[in-house]
Structure formats: structure tokens, C-alpha cells
């Protein structure tokens, strides 16, 4: 059964999720880019993406943004002010969107297979014909 602290933490994270969802809906042309998932439990977590989540630690009034990395968990930032956490998370999402766009642009227009031009093929055919004669 959930405790009062856990209920308060869940409500604070739900308020942050609603603020983020509203801000993201107004700023992005890709509504499904970020999936904000509130997972109740001990402690409740607000997942921003696959590796970043928000928990209410070390006290039930402090928002802590944690990122899971290969080397372990890293605390990105923490604050008791919901607006400053919202602003930092929006910056984080913006950076992720820019990185994703750079990857898409870099991979969409480049050709990785080497090819031969028509002139090179014609020159090879003429050279082979001349040597053969």
C-alpha cells in the first residue's frame, strides 16, 4: 500500500508531467517524440525517455532528474522548483530532437555504395576493344 509521502510524490510528478505535456504540445511538430510515463511505486518515477527519469529525492519536495548510463546512474540536476525542472527538461528534449534531426539528415542524403559513371564504363569498353583489335 502506498504511503502519504508516496501519494504526494506521485501527485507532484503528475503535475510536472502535465506541465511538460502542455509545453511539448505547443513547441514540437512531432507529438510522439517524447512519451512521458508516470510509473507509481516506491519511489514513483516520471520517465521522460528510455534512459532519463524524475524522482522525488532526497526529500518529497525535491525533483531529481536521473539518467541511466552504462557506468551507472548519473544525477543530471535537482531542484525544489517545478518550473526550473520543467525548463531544464524542455532543454534536454530540445537537444535530443536536434541530435535526432542531425542523424536523420546525415543518413538520408548520402550514398555509401561506390558507383561507376557512364563515361568511365564507355572508356573501359573502348580501351578493351582497342587492345583486342
Question: pLDDT (tens digit, 0 to 9) for every residue of the chain, 133 residues total?
Answer: 456 678 889 999 999 999 998 888 877 666 566 778 899 888 899 998 888 999 998 888 999 999 988 999 999 999 999 999 999 999 988 888 888 888 888 887 655 566 667 777 778 878 887 887 6
pLDDT at residue 75 in the model: 92
Predicted TM-score (pTM) of the model is 0.70
Residue 4 has what pLDDT? Answer: 67
Angle at 37 between CA 41 and CA 83, to 5 degrees: 95
The predicted structure's pLDDT at residue 1? 42
pLDDT at position 120: 76
DSSP state of 58: S
- The 10 Å Cβ neighbour count of residue 53 is 21
Q: What are phi and psi of 36, to 5 degrees?
A: -80, 115
* Distance, C-alpha 116 to centroid of its chain: 39
The pLDDT value given to residue 110? 58
Nearest to 8 by CA among 49, 56, 72, 74: 56
Burial 72-107 (b: 16+ CB within 10 A, else e): eeeeeebeeeeeebbebbbebbeeebeeeeeeeeee
Amino acid at each position: 500500500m502506498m504511503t502519504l509521502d508516496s501519494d504526494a510524490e506521485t501527485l507532484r510528478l503528475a503535475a510536472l508531467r502535465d506541465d511538460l505535456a502542455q509545453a511539448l504540445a505547443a513547441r514540437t511538430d512531432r507529438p510522439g517524440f517524447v512519451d512521458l510515463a508516470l510509473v507509481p511505486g516506491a519511489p514513483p518515477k516520471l520517465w521522460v525517455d528510455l534512459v532519463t527519469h524524475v524522482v522525488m529525492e532526497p526529500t518529497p519536495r525535491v525533483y531529481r532528474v536521473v539518467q541511466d548510463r552504462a557506468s551507472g546512474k548519473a544525477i543530471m540536476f535537482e531542484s525544489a522548483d517545478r518550473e526550473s525542472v520543467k525548463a531544464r527538461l524542455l532543454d534536454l528534449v530540445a537537444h535530443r530532437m536536434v541530435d535526432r534531426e542531425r542523424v536523420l539528415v546525415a543518413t538520408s542524403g548520402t550514398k555509401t555504395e561506390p558507383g561507376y559513371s557512364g563515361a568511365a564504363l564507355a572508356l573501359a569498353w573502348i580501351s578493351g576493344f582497342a587492345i583486342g583489335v
